Amino acid sequence: MLRNANVKGVQVRRGGDPSRLRRLNSTDVLAALYAQGPCTLTEVSAVTGLSRPTVEDVVEDFVRDRIVRELPPEPGGTGRPARRFRFGADEGFVAGIDIGVHKVLVILANLEGEVREVRRSTVDPDLGRPERLAVARTALARCLDDSGVAPSRLRAIGAGTPGVVHDGAVTLCTVLPDWTGLDLGRALMTESPVPVVVENDANLATIAEHWRGAAQDVRDAVCVLAGNRVAAGVLIGGRLHRGHRGGAGELGLLPALRWEEAPDRLLAACPGTGDLAAVFAAARSGDARATAAVDGFTDDLATGTAALLLAVDPAVVVVGGGLSRAGDLIAGGLRERLAALCPPPPEVRVSALGDEAVATGAIRVALERATEDLFPDGLPVGSLPPR
Amino acid sequence: MLRNANVKGVQVRRGGDPSRLRRLNSTDVLAALYAQGPCTLTEVSAVTGLSRPTVEDVVEDFVRDRIVRELPPEPGGTGRPARRFRFGADEGFVAGIDIGVHKVLVILANLEGEVREVRRSTVDPDLGRPERLAVARTALARCLDDSGVAPSRLRAIGAGTPGVVHDGAVTLCTVLPDWTGLDLGRALMTESPVPVVVENDANLATIAEHWRGAAQDVRDAVCVLAGNRVAAGVLIGGRLHRGHRGGAGELGLLPALRWEEAPDRLLAACPGTGDLAAVFAAARSGDARATAAVDGFTDDLATGTAALLLAVDPAVVVVGGGLSRAGDLIAGGLRERLAALCPPPPEVRVSALGDEAVATGAIRVALERATEDLFPDGLPVGSLPPR
DNA sequence: CCACTTATTAAAGGAACTTTGTTTAATAAG
DNA sequence: CTTATTAAACAAAGTTCCTTTAATAAGTGG
């Protein structure tokens, strides 16, 4: 029986070939290079446990495919200088786009997630669908242009949007009325066929807090975003939990939990003040009425958060949201209320990423997409400092 | 450098040896045998993609280690009859023990999870700790004795108990007062050093429903156990989610969700009736007052369940509980109320395992423990009919 | 220029898999 | 009772990939 047929001149094999071993070892080597930064072959050999000749052979292949780059050898030191290699981070780039109600934020990063360009555009909440999309598209184009990255080197785009997302399309969006039904994945696709990953904004913020934010050290977390809308993302076992219909953490639907009306109530408590950001700013500067209003808002938040906590039992709660870093205004009161509601009190942390959380999460999912063939088991934990 | 040292005469190797390949292929072969039932070498070769000689070699090793057994060849058919092999399921056994308030249930099964013996003992709710443990121990001994399984062939024990479990011990248990602080793992250890896996009962029921019950076809589910206590288990991505402190699904703590007092309220609504089982029995036979009481109970259940649904967004809700199969009495009303609370309405199913759910889940975790060296990636999906 | 250190290169040896060809053990037909 | 057919078991050869060992190369410091 011809099991491993020679199709089109390429060896196609199934089961447990030696080639399977090679694949495993190759990803191990690349993962080491990715996680450790610049490395000599001996170092890679040490961390992977593979012999030096094997590592050399594998790395040679990667260099040929421009996935790994050779660096000039380190000058000092005794003995023959070792050749040094690093992951070819600048061979490709990814973009993270946060399309929000009041702003559009684009981040451009290389394949190691190193940020190259950040571009923030304020937009009118009432802006229509095509105009809003145009802002996003030109912002992305500018990012590429300003950083001198040819569009052809863009490997993936991540995009965050409010609303329920399914299969790249926005199924339901209450805050951007003409947004419902939009196939955002298709809308953002550039001329070149770059894969676009679309995800709910709260989910992306959660991913970001786990990647580079306040939840790096835990595997179970709940991320509450307080802003014009209250939403939450759920991280379980180090992975985002979307839920069956993508609705995990959407507590707004249960009136008893008071999430849906919380923002409106906050605004109503401060008549005359323009928008939520203004209320938070007033509270921060000591305005008594605004402070009381924020306090009520925190109270509204607490009930739903408590339900979420009891359901999921995370290690930490991260409080975030795009509004002028509102997290720290809320965290204290929330901590107090949750301690009363669900003993033992959970740990409440303030977002470390502020209003870049969503775009940072978008970078992360784009990165995962762009490297899924290099790292079938997911991105290795990198050595890159979190900025 | 001596990388792969020869320690005590055994080759100890790290990285990407050919032996790594062998290990991978071996587990593939065993998994195929486990999942497919009795197989010829050619069949195993087909499903694994490995060549026949390799499969033969691997199986030979397994037979030598008594992990796989050879069967007599199938009589009919043309050509030389093929040797047949199957996973050596009867080489080892596991026990699942459900220690509840009113009963102790022990199930004995072989390494394929085939049930060999079931033993049910009714116990007084007020029974003390040592006596309750004695009931469990003798029930297990009887199970082994009756089925002719030597205690030395017991590979693992799974145990389910109400309360919060941490590291084999019961951290907190409200329904069995002198149970708190008990190291159940140690208490159930037999003379021979058999590993004991202890787990909260609702969690085990959830595992069981996913394994052999009403949630086999989904990866995200919530399992609500209604009985003398109301509790829930959370299944996410096909795995049990315990939560940071093992408290996931413990909604009882939030009074607004009405789970804590629900059983007492149900009982209070039917003064004079002995216990919950009696109330459910009365409702089943058409008693108006009991029916109304069960209706109120369902209402209490719905609020907390809705919170759980919005937090986790599972594909199905499974309603179970040990009380005279109360699930079907509750499911209808629950379905109706949840449809109103959280659109779109989730699918509500009645437990398929009844009062054996907890012990079945205990079997499952014991099985996983007993075979973790054979199947490092978890038990393969078996071919065994769910009884 | 020489000793020393460390990296690279080359060659040999071994494990594990696949392919190919031969032998064995059944059944079915003449 | 013998012979053809079929499919499994056995055996040998070849390949890939990894490891070990030994020899060579390229630096530094005295």
Portion of chain A with pLDDT greater than 70, in percent: 93
What is the residue whose two structure tokens read 């014009």?
A228
Residues with CB under 7 A from strand C: A 1-4, 13-18, 40-42, 52-53, 56, 78-83; B 18-19, 21-22, 25, 49-54, 57-58, 75, 77-81
Angle between helix axes B52-64 and B41-48 (nearest 10 degrees) is 120
* H or E element that contains B167: none
Tell the residue number behind the tokens 């308030």, with chain if given: B101
CATH number of the domain that A168 lies in? Answer: 3.30.420.40
Q: How confident is the model at residue B324 (pLDDT cuts 50, 70, 90)?
A: low
Q: Token pair of B242, please? A: 């315990």
Say yes or no: A251 and A299 in one domain.
yes
What's the whole-number mean pLDDT along residues A269-293? 85
Q: Do B69 and B150 lie in a common domain?
A: no
Q: Which residue has the higher pLDDT, B243 or B326?
A: B243
In a domain, B294, yes or no: yes
Domain end (from A26, A55, A87): A87
Average pLDDT, chain B: 89
Same domain, A281 and A339: yes
CATH of the domain at A18: 1.10.10.10
* B307 vs A239: CA distance, rounded Å: 21
A75 close contact with B: CB closer than 8 A: no
Is residue A248 located within the same domain as residue A347?
Answer: yes
**pLDDT value of position A384:** 61
pLDDT at B114: 96
Sort out which chain A residues have CB atoms less than 8 A from B241's CB and list them: 236-237, 312
Crossing angle of helices A18-36 and A41-48, in 10° steps, is 110
Q: Is residue A174, in this structure, part of any structural domain at all?
A: yes
Asked if residue A42 is part of any domain, the answer here is: yes
Contact B256 A254 (CB under 8 A): no
Q: Do A113 and A71 share a domain, yes or no?
A: no
- In tens, the pLDDT along A172-213 reads 888 898 999 999 999 999 777 899 999 999 999 999 999 999
Which of B100, B26, B81 is closest to B56 using CA atoms? B26
A298 contact partners, CB below 8 Å, separation of at least 6 = A330, A333, A334, A337
Domain end call among A27, A57, A87: A87
What part of B 319-338 touches A (C-beta under 8 Å)? none
Average pLDDT over residues A244-267: 83
B246 touches chain A (CB under 8 A): yes
A125 in any annotated domain: yes
The answer as to whether A381 is a domain residue is: no
> How near does any CA of chain B get to the CA of A121, in Å?
33
pLDDT of residue B224: 94
- B15 and A312 within 8 Å at the Cβ level: the answer is no
- Among candidate residues B70, B87, B104, the one where a domain is terminated: B87
Whether A231 maps to a domain, the answer reads: yes
Instruction: Provide the whole-model pTM.
Output: 0.90
Q: What is the pLDDT of residues B158-187, one digit of tens each?
A: 999 998 899 999 998 888 989 999 999 999
Helix B276-284 × helix B327-341 angle, to 10°: 80
Longest dimension (CA), chain A: 83
3-state secondary structure of A377: coil
- Does A237 lie in the same domain as A186? no
A333 pLDDT more than 60: yes
**Do residues A188 and A124 both lie within one domain?**
yes
User: What's the rounded mean pLDDT across residues A253-271?
Assistant: 83
pLDDT-based confidence at residue B6 (cuts at 50, 70, 90):
very low
B221 lies in the same domain as B196: no
Of the candidates B15, B18, B315, the beta carbon closest to that of A50 is on B15
Whether residue A18 has a cis bond before it, omega within 30° of 0? no
Q: How far is CA B322 from the centre of its chain?
A: 15
**CA angle, B191 then B194 then B195, to 5°:** 140
**Cβ contact B16–A24 (<8 Å):** yes
pLDDT at B184: 97
Residue A231 sits in the same domain as residue A117: no
Q: Which of A300-314, B147-161, B357-371 has the lowest mean pLDDT?
A: A300-314
Residue numbers of the domain that contains A22 = 4-87
Average pLDDT value for residue range A273-292: 86
Span B46-54, average pLDDT: 95
Closest-CA residue of chain B to A47: B15
The A68-71 sheet, strands edge to edge = A39-40, A84-87, A68-71
pLDDT tens digits for A34-46?
Answer: 999 999 999 999 9
pLDDT tens digits, one per residue of B29-42? 999 999 999 999 99
Residue B344 is predicted with a pLDDT of 79
pLDDT of residue A281: 86
Q: Express each pLDDT in A364-377 by its tens digit.
A: 999 999 999 999 99
- Residue A367 is encoded by which pair of tokens? 């990165």
Tens digit of pLDDT for each residue in A48-77? 999 999 999 999 999 999 999 999 988 777
Number of helical (H) and strand (E) elements in chain A, helices listed first: 11, 17
Based on the fold, state whether residues A195 and A224 are members of the same structural domain: no
My answer on whether A293 and A329 are in the same domain is: yes
Residue B364 lies in a domain: yes
Among the residue ranges A14-23, A67-76, A323-332, the one predicted with the least confidence is: A323-332
Assign A270 a pLDDT band (cuts: 50, 70, 90): confident
**Tally of domains within chain A:** 3
Q: What is the pLDDT of residue B321?
A: 80
Q: Is residue A96 in some structural domain? A: yes
Q: Looking at the structure, tell me whether residues A197 and A118 fall in a common domain.
A: yes
3-state secondary structure (DSSP) of residue B224: strand
Predicted pLDDT of residue B7:
38
Check residues 22 to 41 of chain A and report those whose beta carbon is under 7 Å from nucleic acid strand D.
22, 25
Query: Tell me, what's the pLDDT at A324?
Result: 54
pLDDT value, residue A383 = 61
Distance in Å, residue A79 CA to nucleotide D15 C1': 38
- Give the helix/strand (H/E) hosting A73: none
Round to a whole number and report the distance in Å from the CA of A75 to the C1' of C4. 18
